[in-house]
């Protein structure tokens, strides 16, 4: 059994046989030199391929409109626009003449250079690289008729787990919905055109997985998109567990569709608050049509990771304004920059010798990156006039940390006043409780803020002095280590005492099996990944609120193996 982790673009569960889909045209692009007198002949071949591709895209546009409606039409119309880019065509012709190379070679090189240009742009534009690749492949296949196909014909026609290097609009259109159980790809994007089309199929989608090297045709595969996991050739115990989950999911599916527009609540009608964690602006689109309670954690540092210089105040402002409007007056809690080893953009340079995870974290980073925090804070304050934005301070350990962030807020307001820019003057403040220090001092800290979030990922890591990214550590410690539960109890008790809002926003909130324990602890406010929100809400609709004895039972099962049995779940 092998387990791969990726990014979920559409939640759900699937189990089936894998089949690898390849764009054969990418595998064998002819590269050869031509004689000068054959240049015109090569350009004629290029024009002929363009004509064939134009016809293919027009046919795809019509077919896509019938299957996917206006969205499909717009996507393939965009492909037509890429193909008809005169500058692109002229660049290919110029390359043929200059380097005396065949047309396919020139097409590949020019399209690759365009792809690289888009990769260096912001997140939205970088996802357009998949459309450029798609048009390139259609053009290349027009030379010899070779196109994408499944590597292995199965003995009998059946739906499969589709495994590929990337998902493209043409690929989605070429594979019938009835033939797909799930998509697993190496490359992808939450708002790429291919993902938008594939989401219409209602199947799990996971990208960012080293798929083609690890999955072969005929492999038995389980796709758990709610956890972003792909399990290859599962053992009997794992298979049995997921067989039961699939049966249960099928029973719940129809009921949850009916209840889609209703607020989040338990089976007996106990109202719960369910929010979304957002790392990328594009993820807000995943929430369209869902009845959710706001954004519990907007991770700012991921918004501008793939660039070579810090974002400007105006860039911050534009993103926050768009998200505020999309949230439609719901609370959006924006965490100020939280710099660490896994959240370190290339344009941020720490002093030599500093530890990314134990040195410059939270308020300690303000003095080093003061201007960046100032720009970000000004942008949040300005964007707050377009919705209900709230400030969330990361890695708080004591009151001085809160005061350090407040100094930035104070100066940001002063500058905005001088500049005559509009902003909301009474933006609410919250803190991330993700260190043992913050947990044990929760009673003191909560007096100074409006709300708090429990960041269970960092809280567990710093409590156990163990990296959560280590496979060795994962095998040694349970994700719900008893020490974490004890600390959560302390925090929840203090929030009741001071009547402050508390939200659980760490990875453990993605496990539906743990919710009876959370409810018995007194938590009724959760924030989960946007792609998982729908599944979590569905599970909560079927949940009986546990009695007071539930927490006592948990503490009787403190040993790792007993905890696993207690939740009737194998920890992978």
Kindly tell me if the per-residue pLDDT of 112 is higher than 80: yes
| CATH of residue 303 | 3.20.20.60
**Residues 275-302, mean pLDDT to the nearest whole number:** 84
| Residue 190: inside a domain | yes
pLDDT number for residue 358: 65
Q: How far is CA 509 from CA 204, 269, 449, 457, 542, in A?
A: 20, 20, 23, 10, 16
SS3 372: helix
Rounded Cα distance, 239 and 21, in Å = 25
- pLDDT confidence tier of residue 242, bands split at 50, 70 and 90: very high
CB 370 within 8 A of CB 408: yes
Three-state SS sequence of 499-552: CCEEEECCHHHHCHHHHHHHHHHCCCEEEEEHHHHHHHHHHHHCCCCCCCHHHH
193 noted as active-site residue = yes
Question: Which of 256, 503, 505, 538 is labelled catalytic?
Answer: 505
Kindly tell me if the per-residue pLDDT of 513 is higher than 70: yes
Question: Does residue 195 share a domain with residue 265?
Answer: no
State in Å, rounded, how far the first CA of the chain is from the last one.
11
pLDDT number for residue 386: 96
Digit-coded pLDDT (tens) for 317-359:
999 999 999 998 999 999 998 876 555 566 666 665 555 556 6
Digit-coded pLDDT (tens) for 525-554:
999 988 778 878 888 887 887 877 788 888
Question: Does residue 309 share a domain with residue 164?
Answer: no
CB half-sphere exposure, 311, CA atoms < 13 A:
27
Worst-scoring range by mean pLDDT, 172-176, 338-342, 431-435, 449-453?
338-342
471 burial class (0-12, 13-18, 19+ CB within 10 angstroms)? Answer: exposed
Question: Which of 79, 105, 193, 478 is labelled catalytic?
Answer: 193
156 burial class (0-12, 13-18, 19+ CB within 10 angstroms)? Answer: exposed
Task: Scan for tokens 């993902």, then name that residue.
Answer: 195
Rounded Cα distance, 63 and 276, in Å = 35
pLDDT number for residue 279: 80
**Residues 158-167, mean pLDDT to the nearest whole number:** 90
pLDDT number for residue 125: 44
Closest CA to 363 of 398, 328, 331: 398
Question: Does residue 419 share a domain with residue 351?
Answer: yes
Rounded Cα distance, 486 and 345, in Å = 34
Question: Does residue 181 share a domain with residue 137?
Answer: yes
Tally the domains of the chain: 2
Question: Does residue 324 share a domain with residue 423?
Answer: yes
| Residue 555: inside a domain | no
Between residues 568 and 443, the one the model is more confident about? 443
| Residue 554: inside a domain | no
Give me the phi and psi of 502, to 5 degrees please: -130, 135
Rounded Cα distance, 237 and 536, in Å = 24
Residue count of the chain, please give it.
Answer: 572
Q: Which of 186, 207, 238 is the last residue of a domain?
A: 238
CB 239 within 8 A of CB 217: no
| Residue 300: inside a domain | yes
Kindly tell me if the per-residue pLDDT of 568 is higher than 80: no
pLDDT number for residue 187: 84
CB 225 within 8 A of CB 208: no
| Residue 229: inside a domain | yes
Question: Does residue 136 share a domain with residue 204?
Answer: yes
| Residue 570: inside a domain | no
| CATH of residue 203 | 1.10.274.10
Digit-coded pLDDT (tens) for 45-77:
999 999 999 998 998 888 887 777 766 777 888
CB 121 within 8 A of CB 127: no
Question: Does residue 140 share a domain with residue 42?
Answer: yes
Kindly tell me if the per-residue pLDDT of 122 is higher than 50: no
Question: Does residue 119 share a domain with residue 233?
Answer: yes
| Residue 436: inside a domain | yes
Name the residue range of residue 44's domain: 1-238
Between residues 33 and 68, the one the model is more confident about? 33
The H or E element containing residue 224 is strand 220-224
Give me the phi and psi of 333, to 5 degrees please: -95, 110
Highest mean pLDDT among 60-74, 299-313, 402-416: 402-416
SS3 413: helix
Q: How far is CA 445 from CA 241, 398, 403, in A?
A: 42, 7, 11
Question: Does residue 306 share a domain with residue 197?
Answer: no
Question: Does residue 13 share a domain with residue 93?
Answer: yes
Digit-coded pLDDT (tens) for 189-224:
766 778 878 887 888 999 888 888 899 999 999 999
* Chain centre to alpha carbon of residue 442: 30
Rounded Cα distance, 293 and 341, in Å = 31
The H or E element containing residue 62 is helix 39-68
User: How much of the chain exceeds pLDDT 70, in percent?
Assistant: 87
| Residue 247: inside a domain | no
Tokens standing for residue 480? 């719900």
Question: Does residue 336 share a domain with residue 202?
Answer: no
311 DSSP 8-state letter: P
**Residues 431-445, mean pLDDT to the nearest whole number:** 96
Question: Does residue 64 share a domain with residue 173?
Answer: yes
478 noted as active-site residue = no
């Amino acid at each position: 059994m092998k387990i791969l982790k990726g990014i979920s673009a559409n939640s759900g569960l699937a189990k089936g046989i894998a089949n690898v889909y390849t764009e054969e045209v990418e595998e064998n692009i002819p590269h050869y030199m031509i004689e000068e007198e054959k240049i015109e002949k090569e350009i004629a071949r290029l024009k002929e391929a363009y004509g064939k591709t134009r016809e293919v895209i027009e046919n795809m546009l019509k077919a896509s409109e019938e299957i996917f409606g206006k969205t499909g039409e717009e996507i393939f119309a965009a492909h037509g626009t890429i193909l008809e880019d005169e500058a692109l065509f002229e660049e290919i012709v110029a390359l043929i003449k200059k380097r005396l190379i065949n047309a396919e070679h020139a097409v590949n090189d020019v399209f690759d250079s365009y792809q690289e240009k888009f990769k260096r742009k912001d997140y939205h534009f970088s996802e357009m690289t998949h459309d450029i690749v798609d048009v390139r492949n259609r053009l290349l296949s027009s030379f010899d008729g070779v196109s994408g196909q499944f590597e292995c014909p199965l003995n009998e026609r059946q739906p499969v787990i589709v495994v590929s290097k990337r998902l493209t609009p043409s690929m989605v259109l070429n594979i019938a919905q009835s033939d797909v159980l799930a998509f697993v790809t190496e490359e992808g994007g939450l708002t790429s055109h291919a993902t938008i089309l594939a989401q219409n199929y209602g199947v799990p989608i996971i990208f960012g997985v080293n798929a083609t090297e690890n999955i072969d045709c005929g492999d038995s595969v389980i796709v758990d998109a709610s956890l972003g996991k792909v399990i290859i050739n599962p053992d009997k115990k794992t298979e049995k567990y997921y067989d039961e989950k699939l049966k249960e999911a099928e029973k719940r599916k129809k009921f949850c569709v009916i209840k889609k527009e209703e607020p989040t609540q338990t089976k007996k009608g106990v109202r719960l608050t369910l929010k979304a964690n957002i790392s990328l602006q594009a993820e807000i689109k995943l929430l369209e049509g869902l009845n959710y309670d706001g954004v519990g954690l907007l991770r700012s540092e991921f918004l501008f990771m793939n660039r070579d210089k810090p974002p400007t105040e105006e860039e911050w402002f534009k993103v926050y304004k768009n998200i505020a409007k999309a949230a439609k007056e719901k609370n959006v809690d924006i965490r100020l920059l939280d710099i660490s080893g896994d959240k370190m953009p290339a344009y941020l340079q720490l002093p030599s010798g500093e530890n990314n995870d134990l040195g410059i974290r939270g308020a300690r980073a303000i003095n080093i990156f003061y201007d960046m925090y100032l720009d970000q804070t000004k942008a949040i304050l300005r964007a707050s006039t377009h919705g209900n934005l709230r400030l969330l301070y990361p890695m708080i350990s004591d009151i001085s940390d809160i005061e350090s962030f407040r100094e930035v807020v104070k100066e940001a307001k002063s500058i905005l006043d001088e500049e005559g820019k509009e902003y909301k003057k009474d933006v609410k403040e919250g803190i991330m409780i993700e260190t043992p220090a913050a947990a044990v001092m929760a009673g003191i800290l909560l007096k100074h803020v409006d709300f708090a979030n429990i960041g269970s990922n960092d809280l567990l890591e710093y409590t156990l002095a163990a990296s959560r990214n280590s496979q060795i550590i994962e095998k040694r410690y349970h994700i719900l280590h008893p020490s974490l539960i004890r600390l959560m109890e302390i925090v929840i008790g203090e929030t009741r005492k001071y009547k402050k809002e508390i939200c659980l926003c760490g990875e453990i909130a993605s496990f539906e099996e743990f919710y009876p324990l959370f409810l018995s602890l007194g938590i009724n406010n959760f924030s989960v990944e946007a792609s998982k929100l729908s599944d979590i809400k569905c599970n909560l609709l079927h949940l009986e609120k546990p009695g007071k004895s539930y927490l006592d039972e948990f503490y009787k099962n403190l040993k790792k193996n007993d905890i696993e049995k207690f939740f009737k779940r194998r920890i992978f």
